[in-house]
Amino acid sequence: MNTKVSFVTKLYIWSLIFESLLYFVLGSQQNTGINTSFGRILQTITILLLSGYFISRIEFKLPNPLTGHFKMFTYLFLFSILSAIFGILTEGYTFRYVGNYNAGFATSAIAKFLRSAFVRPILEYVIYFFYITYFVVMPFYMIKTEKALFYFFKMFRRMFMIGLVIGLLDLLTSLAGFQFLARDMMDVVYVGFRFHGFAGEPRDAFVYLFYSYCVFNIESIYKTDQLLSKKYSLGIIGLMLLTQSASGLLGVLIGGILILGMVFSKVSIKQLIYGFLMAILVISFVVVGVLSSERIMSYIEVISLVYEALEEELPPPLVFVGQMNNIYPIWDMYVKAKNFNIFPLLVGSGFGSASVANNNWGYFLWSELMNPHSQIVRILYETGIIGLGLYIVTIFKQAKIHTIGLSDSKRKFFMYTMLLLIGMSLAHRSTTIFIYTGILIMTMTMYRKKIALLANQNLKEN
């Protein structure tokens, strides 16, 4: 505890905190090719500082990616490369109507280069490798003292509370027809009576709120060996409902299905009852969210017209235009499977291929790189059913392994909340699932060491 937290460790911690605070966007993809946020700038500075440190220490050895805690992520990455090879061979990266998807959108040479049809799929692999390395692996090496861990929890909670207060004030002023908090710093779009705080769009806030709840529970376990009280759960649920996020409710539904799959994998009377109660809770949460949101009900009213538009390759109902980037890839897989080509459904077409499908089917809607917002659509289209299953197992296994030593009820809590967070990150693309996984691995490793140390001290005293 007397060890000081180094500057580079603090910088790394702040880069993790700001990664999920999507309000702090400083540049758009239109100008830079990728979203430029305050968190990304901090990450770049951290990497530059660490690179100089490692170069000066010739004896430094990189961890073996095929052993230890992180080998499952390596297998997932290797499988995605196999999917890309299949995608190349089956024209998964071939455009039907346009040769480039940055026309009329990119305003700089770097943006045109990074968003070009050839470079963007490669960049998707670079981005995924960065997510795993920086968010999942590096916490294990960067936050390795108790003082650094406490610093992370303290700063994380502080930024959460500031965003919460400002978000609630914005929510209250919106009732009077005045809003001061846009979706991000570069944006002038306001979202109405929907909570979002510093998390960006309301759908981002939905995932961020639950992610924060999970982080607070890790902190509580480490410091007090107890989970948070129920009042925190009720408060988070209320804020999540105030986001009125359709993708968030879909994420809860996906997470609920994953939990039921886990419960029914080891069936007993007690588990059946628990699973039944969990199903009622999840369904009730989704139903309340749907019925209380005029925005979601507007989707339901015209959903029957979407199928007709897909069949005839016509523009969809106006209210669904913003969701078609999540629908066209699924439709493409359906059409291929209907023509007895099931391999894309099984192994996918490689990272970046979902945007190609969107431009092939939605060429009359946009002329820009258009990735799905829904992560489950991207993973399913780009790595298939096998890749989706591998993704879920890889992340869930971290909660299952690293909570060994906790009581049965606490361990189940972390496994269930991990499945819910997986469901939410599948419904809407979010890096919080990777950050939380890295924090969980790092914190629980330190927790087990602390418990072992206390046990040894008690043994000596006795």
Under 8 Å between Cβ of 218 and 443: yes
pLDDT at position 1 is 46
Q: What is the pLDDT along the chain (462 residues), one digit of tens a residue?
A: 446 888 999 999 999 999 999 999 887 776 776 778 889 999 999 999 888 766 555 455 666 776 677 788 889 999 999 999 998 888 888 877 665 555 556 667 777 777 777 788 888 899 999 999 999 999 988 998 999 999 999 999 999 999 999 999 998 998 888 888 888 887 777 888 889 899 988 999 999 999 999 999 999 999 999 999 888 888 998 999 899 888 888 888 888 888 877 776 665 666 666 666 666 676 676 666 665 656 566 656 666 677 777 877 777 777 677 778 888 899 889 888 888 888 888 899 999 888 888 888 887 777 667 788 888 999 999 999 999 999 999 999 999 999 988 888 899 999 999 999 999 999 988 899 999 999 999 999 999 888 888 777 777 776
Q: How confident is the model at residue 454, as a pLDDT?
A: 79
